[in-house]
Amino acid sequence: MRPVIIAANWKMNTTPADAGELAATIAARIEEPDVVRVICPPYVCLSAVRQALAATDVAVGAQNVHHEPGGAYTGEISAAMLSGLASWVILGHSERRRDQLESDELIGKKLARAVAAGLRPILCVGEQLAEREAGRAVEVVGDQLRGAVSGKDVETLMAAGFVIAYEPVWAIGTGRNASGSDAAAMAEAIRATLYTDLHWGEPAEVVPVLYGGSVTSANIGEFLAEPSIDGALVGGASLKPDEMAGMMATAAVTARARIAASGKAG
């Protein structure tokens, strides 16, 4: 049974002065042991958020990591620097692909570095509007996946808790929305790529796939109703305690239903 995961990506929001209080408020609103919960604040807020969440079972994640262990990389953060501050990390987010021109090869190096350091990776993939309209969505996402994951040891990635987030870039902050069926079809295509193209076999079926396209409490139910979707990577709404509480309520129902179905199947 794949877990249900809600990961909050705070992006470039909050400061060390207010991040801890916000994290504590959200954690109190999303107490739900059947759902895996992660908050990913900016680097400078990691310590404050970690302290605020120390007495909870909400995990802390970083928004990025450098692909080298250290060196002359001004302004960058290595995996070793995250030790004790974060246990998860987001890799290949669409905004970093766009703004920092991160390639699939580079993201693959970051993936290897993160896993070696004991960080649980969330690998983001997703297509632009023009690519979807040209009928190339599955091809583009497949290429991103192959570019980052090819050559990696399957058992090592699975042991690290490898997670994929599907981000339809055309549905992030644009007013256009992907449907639950859009997300489900891509999740199935992602697992098919892992299973067949990358020769993962059965492990491909248990990799969690999250949806990450402008998720809110109002639309998360449509995505979690799809059996192939295992949660959400939440952006702007993750800064709002009421929104997070609403999303968690829906996620909890999904998680309990899966647990019950798994028990019956067993």
pLDDT at 240: 98
- Catalytic (active site) residue 67: no
For residues 12 and 23, give the distance between their C-alpha atoms in angstroms, rounded to a whole number.
15
CATH of domain 4-93+101-237+247-265: 3.20.20.70
- Catalytic (active site) residue 243: no
pLDDT at 115: 98
Task: Determine which one of 32, 66, 93, 102 is catalytic.
Answer: 93
For residues 168 and 128, give the distance between their C-alpha atoms in angstroms, rounded to a whole number.
7
Burial of 47 (0-12, 13-18, 19+ CB in 10 A): middle
Task: Tell me how many degrees the CA angle 93-96-97 measures, rounded to the nearest 5.
Answer: 85
pLDDT at 223: 97
Distance between first and last Cα of the chain? 11
pLDDT at 65: 98
Residues 130 and 185: beta-carbon distance below 8 Å: no
3-state secondary structure of 25: helix
Would you give per-residue pLDDT tens digits along the chain (266 residues)?
Answer: 899 999 999 999 999 999 999 999 999 999 999 999 999 999 999 999 999 999 999 999 999 999 999 999 999 999 999 999 999 999 999 999 999 999 999 999 999 999 999 999 999 999 999 999 999 999 999 999 999 999 999 999 999 999 999 999 988 777 777 899 999 999 999 999 999 999 999 999 999 999 998 899 999 999 999 999 999 999 999 999 999 999 999 999 999 999 999 887 65
In eight-state DSSP terms, residue 56 is S
3-state secondary structure of 218: coil
Q: What residues does each domain of the chain span?
A: 4-93+101-237+247-265
Task: Determine which one of 167, 222, 226, 243 is catalytic.
Answer: 167
Tokens of 70: 């250290």
Residues 47 and 16: beta-carbon distance below 8 Å: yes
For residues 139 and 88, give the distance between their C-alpha atoms in angstroms, rounded to a whole number.
28
